[in-house]
């Protein structure tokens, strides 16, 4: 299932509430909304007012008129055939007799999931693409790459909405890269994720002069903050519904929220450089992703700060890692630093430089459909070990070793 299913419960009977919550929480991809709010939820368990059933049916009509895709489960301790027929006529999808039993609830949830999958499959075909950008370690330029990729796509495709998200909860500074005002961002949106809807999301996004929509992390480097499980999946679902491309700066730490993004992203871009310690970390991260069963077609590796005299090193690194480098971003530390200090993208600050031209010309190929051989694959390596290969062997990282589960 591509996104979380948000569920709200409106029951006076606490035993019914607890039983339904327990059954739903045992299933993957479900999120129980707090309170009795029905905004931006997919399913509502509603208890029939047995003394005033028409009052309940009127409420069902009102809810469905404002949220046609909402599915309503009705529960009651008793229900005659005439009332049951009327309930289904006003739009109730499932009826659960009390006391709730697994024999009644499980088949109802399975039927709901089949209907839900049918409704969302068409939307997924039209949904935007999520690109997660993650560094193999700190200092490789992940934020620079994510920012300039996002801005370059926005500049090239003026009519297509593009978003850039800062998910680095360990001190993300993307707002400085774009010189946009600080906002509460993700921390604000995820305080009560069950109530999050498109209106709230749009009010939190900050518009950059290029047209790019920016969402800050809202975290400080010294904050002790973790997102609730499922939060990022819900945010990503809404973001992709209103943007053609969504770029997410994941930093370089594989915390739970980053793993959630990597699971749901359409493409993962690994940012690396050609120094020996970084290459070693690249190999390790690729092993982790392979052990987590990410498809190779989903992973792309780019080299940042590439020098022209490193051509042979690139080839050797590709052989060692079993990876074709999808992009070689020219090294221009001076221009990159100046752009950051002025809060402007490279394509604006230094548009004629080779590094800016790489972003403008190479981004389409990088985030487009993977060409054959452009994605990560673990293949047989060269039989003779070079200096680079010997270095990896000396630290216990065998070239071509099958990744183990972590």
Which pLDDT does position 388 carry in this prediction? 60
Class of domain 127-394: alpha beta
Category of 379 on φ-ψ map: left (φ > 0), alpha (ψ -120 to 50) or beta? beta
Question: What is the rounded average pLDDT for all residues in the chain?
Answer: 84
Domain residue ranges of the chain, discontinuous segments joined by +: 5-124, 127-394
CB atoms under 10 Å from CB of 317, counted, come to 22
Does CATH place domain 5-124 in 2.60.120.10? no
Q: 268-320 pLDDT, tens per residue?
A: 999 999 999 999 999 999 999 999 888 888 999 999 999 999 999 999 999 99
Residue 21 CB contacts under 8 Å (≥ 6 apart), including other chains = 9, 32
Q: 214-226 pLDDT, tens per residue?
A: 999 877 666 667 7
Pairwise CA distance, residues 92 & 74, whole Å: 7
Q: Is the pLDDT of residue 346 over 50?
A: yes
CA atoms within 13 A on the CB side of 118: 7
Binned at pLDDT 50, 70 and 90, residue 403 comes out as very low
Q: 165-185 pLDDT, tens per residue?
A: 999 877 668 888 999 876 778
Which pLDDT does position 286 carry in this prediction? 95
Q: 83-109 pLDDT, tens per residue?
A: 999 999 999 999 999 999 999 999 999
Q: State yes or no: cis peptide before 99, omega within 30 of 0.
A: yes
Q: 33-44 pLDDT, tens per residue?
A: 765 444 568 899
CA dihedral sign, ordered 53, 21, 224, 247: negative
Which pLDDT does position 385 carry in this prediction? 52
Q: Is the pLDDT of residue 125 over 70?
A: no
Radius of gyration of the chain (CA): 25
Average pLDDT over residues 350-358: 92
Q: Is the pLDDT of residue 401 over 70?
A: no
- Angle (CA) 351-353-358 rounded to 5° is 85
Which pLDDT does position 241 carry in this prediction? 82
CB atoms under 10 Å from CB of 288, counted, come to 16
Same fold for the pair 5-124 and 127-394? yes
pTM above 0.85, yes or no: no
Pairwise CA distance, residues 246 & 349, whole Å: 23
Which pLDDT does position 370 carry in this prediction? 37
Distance of CA 364 to the CA centre of its chain: 20
Which pLDDT does position 396 carry in this prediction? 47
């Amino acid at each position: 299932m591509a996104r979380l299913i948000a569920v709200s419960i409106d029951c006076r009977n606490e035993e019914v509430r607890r039983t339904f919550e327990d059954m739903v929480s045992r299933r993957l991809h479900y999120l129980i909304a707090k309170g009795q709010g029905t905004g931006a939820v997919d399913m509502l368990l509603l208890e029939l007012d047995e003394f005033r059933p028409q009052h309940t049916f009127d409420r069902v009509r009102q809810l469905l008129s404002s949220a046609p895709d909402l599915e309503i489960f009705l529960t009651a301790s008793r229900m005659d055939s005439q009332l049951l027929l009327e309930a289904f006529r006003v739009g109730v999808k499932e009826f659960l007799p009390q006391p709730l039993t697994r024999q009644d609830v499980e088949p109802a949830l399975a039927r709901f999931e089949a209907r839900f999958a049918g409704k969302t499959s068409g939307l997924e075909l039209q949904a935007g693409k999520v690109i997660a950008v993650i560094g193999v370690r700190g200092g490789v330029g992940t934020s620079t790459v994510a920012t300039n990729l996002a801005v370059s796509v926005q500049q090239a495709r003026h009519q297509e909405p593009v978003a850039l998200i800062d998910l680095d909860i360990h001190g993300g500074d993307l707002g400085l890269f774009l010189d946009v005002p600080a906002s509460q961002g993700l921390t604000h949106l995820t305080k009560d994720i069950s109530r999050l809807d498109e209106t709230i999301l749009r009010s939190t996004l900050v518009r950059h002069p290029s047209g790019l929509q920016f969402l800050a992390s809202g975290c400080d480097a010294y904050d002790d903050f973790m997102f609730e499980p499922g939060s990022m999946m819900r945010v990503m679902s809404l973001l992709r519904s209103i943007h053609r491309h969504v770029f997410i700066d994941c930093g370089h730490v594989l915390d739970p929220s980053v793993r959630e993004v990597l699971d749901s992203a359409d493409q993962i871009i690994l940012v690396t450089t050609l120094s020996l310690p970084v290459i070693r970390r690249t190999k390790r991260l690729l092993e982790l992703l392979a052990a987590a069963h990410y498809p190779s077609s989903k992973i792309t590796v780019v080299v940042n700060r590439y020098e022209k005299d490193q051509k042979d090193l690139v080839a050797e690194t590709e052989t060692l890692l079993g990876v074709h480098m999808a992009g070689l971003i020219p090294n221009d530390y001076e221009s990159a630093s100046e752009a950051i200090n002025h809060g402007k993208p490279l394509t604006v600050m230094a548009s004629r430089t080779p590094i800016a031209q790489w972003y403008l010309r190479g981004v389409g190929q990088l985030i487009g459909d993977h060409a054959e051989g452009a994605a990560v694959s673990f293949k047989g390596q060269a039989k003779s070990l070079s200096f680079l290969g010997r270095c990896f062997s000396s630290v216990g990282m065998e070239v071509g070793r099958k990744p183990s589960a972590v």
